[in-house]
Structure 1
Amino acid sequence: MEYRTKEEQVADYLRERIISGVYPRGSRLKQAEIAEQLHLSITPVREALKLLAAEGYVSGDSYRGARVVPFDAGASAEILQLRLLLESQLVRGAMEKITTEHMAGLRALADEFANAFSTGDRASARGVNYRFHRYFYDIAEMPQTLHFVQILWARYPFDVINSATDRGKDAVREHEEILQAVSAGDTSTAMLAMRKHIESGWGVLKAMSE
């Protein structure tokens, strides 16, 4: 995170909380409260909200008030296909650059995710899940691709999917499959495991809507 501006760090903080459901869809984001929580001035929070508005996480502006955008169910199928394409490329890029230190970071996040679900802390687990994927994709050093993925994440119902009773147990197992392939240096299997992980979440959403 050291290379990111304050605005980018605040934006990442807010993305995680939106995706995890801490800030529910339709809720208002008050920049003064966020600034106080993060011990920052209003300026980086205001600029972060502009970034999130451009990506589609929030609507409105920092002066009239920003709100978390509602979930667009009609867009999900198309977004799924775009996620599969772009996130597979990020996995490929990450596999070319991953180090032992990176692997340790991924393992720590996967363990934190598993522990959060085992203790019933779903909100924390959703937040850690975001950090796991963001950390993995950062390794690829493909900022434009990651930027488009973040736009897709803004339109994807992670909070709905992760509210399913058994989703946490499945996601823990799927993370393990991804890490095993990464540890083995098997790029094709790692890409396939990530694809299965994304499709598994989509399957949960479809089952919930039937």
Structure 2
Amino acid sequence: MDYRTKEEQVADYLREGIIAGRFPRGTRLKQQEIATLLQTSITPVREALKLLVAEGYVTGDSYRGATVAPFDISASSETLNLRILLETQLVRGSVERATGKDIEELRVLAAEFEHAFDAGDNETARAANYRFHHRMYEIARMPQTLHFVQILWARYPFDLINRLKGRVSRAAEEHEELLRAFIASDVAAVMLATRQHIEAGWMELRASVQAADPGEPPAKFSAKHLMESSSP
């Protein structure tokens, strides 16, 4: 049973869609379209958008219209470090609390990610990736820390990283290593695997950008540079 409010369900649907690239940066989010898609009323959609504005996933307001927030390259390095700090603590808490049922859920989500990748459906794979990590961290029962992580995710270029050639395949392999350590209850190994997984995507994106324009200092790259360098 889903104990989340309708507002929380809509907000999580939109977070997943933004991170997966289903709602690209700059896309205007129309309340009525979302409400119709999710078979709900306007009210929970409006409240969900207010929450996402506060978290940084979207800009604007629920009355004049909300737009998926642009990517800010200048904040990415700091965001990377904060993600590593908080997500390794979450995964540690999850290992200590996980039940057999929790582990089975993670196996299913990891399998969904791999099946989507094998089918060539990268958007579905990215959405499954979001659900895998969110569920893994949720097990820790550290809602405030998870909330801060979700705010960091709003500022991270997942959509660009996952467009890099071969990245989804490599992420699937990293998930396998992470899940093996998790199932073995090896706290040190699962924290290390989490850190390496987070760092891998960022380093691949940075390398891709630098290869596209080696004369440009990394801190000065714009979202346009990133999108051009990661295009299929």
The answer for the alignment partner of 1:147 in structure 2 is 147
Structure 1 residues 168-195: Cα deviation after superposition (integer angstroms, max 9, x where no partner): 1110110000110011110110010011
Alignment of 1:8-27 (within 5 A): 8-27=8-27
The answer for the alignment partner of 1:87 in structure 2 is 87
The answer for the alignment partner of 1:188 in structure 2 is 188
CA distance in 1, matches of 2:106, 2:207: 30
Alignment of 1:79-158 (within 5 A): 79-158=79-158
Normalised by the size of structure 1, how large is the TM-score?
0.98
Alignment of 1:12-91 (within 5 A): 12-91=12-91
CA contact (8 A) 2:11 2:52 kept: yes
The answer for the alignment partner of 2:179 in structure 1 is 179
CA distance in 1, matches of 2:2, 2:208: 40
The answer for the alignment partner of 2:2 in structure 1 is 2
Shift of 1:51: 0.5
Q: Which has the larger radius of gyration?
A: 2
The answer for the alignment partner of 1:200 in structure 2 is 200
Which residue identity lines up with residue 42 of structure 1 in the other structure?
A: I
Shift of 1:3: 2.2
Structure 1 residues 24-60: Cα deviation after superposition (integer angstroms, max 9, x where no partner): 0011000100000000000000000001000000011
CA distance in 1, matches of 2:209, 2:164: 12
Shift of 1:203: 1.0
Normalised by the size of structure 2, how large is the TM-score?
0.89
Query: More deviation in 39-48 or 1-10?
Result: 1-10
Shift of 1:115: 1.1
Structure 2: gaps (5+ residues): 211-232
CA distance in 1, matches of 2:73, 2:117: 26
Query: More deviation in 113-122 or 151-160?
Result: 113-122
Which residue identity lines up with residue 103 of structure 1 in the other structure?
A: I
Aligned residue pair count: 210
CA distance in 1, matches of 2:138, 2:107: 15
CA distance in 1, matches of 2:19, 2:183: 28
Structure 1: gaps (5+ residues): none
CA distance in 2, matches of 1:78, 1:109: 29
Which residue identity lines up with residue 27 of structure 2 in the other structure?
A: S
Structure 1 residues 60-89: Cα deviation after superposition (integer angstroms, max 9, x where no partner): 111100000000011100000000000001
The answer for the alignment partner of 2:218 in structure 1 is none
Query: Where has structure 1 moved over 6 Å in runs of 4 or more?
Result: none
Which residue identity lines up with residue 92 of structure 1 in the other structure?
A: R
Which residue identity lines up with residue 136 of structure 1 in the other structure?
A: M
CA distance in 2, matches of 1:32, 1:137: 32
Shift of 1:207: 1.3
CA contact (8 A) 2:96 2:185 kept: no
CA RMSD after TM alignment: 0.8
CA contact (8 A) 2:20 2:123 kept: yes
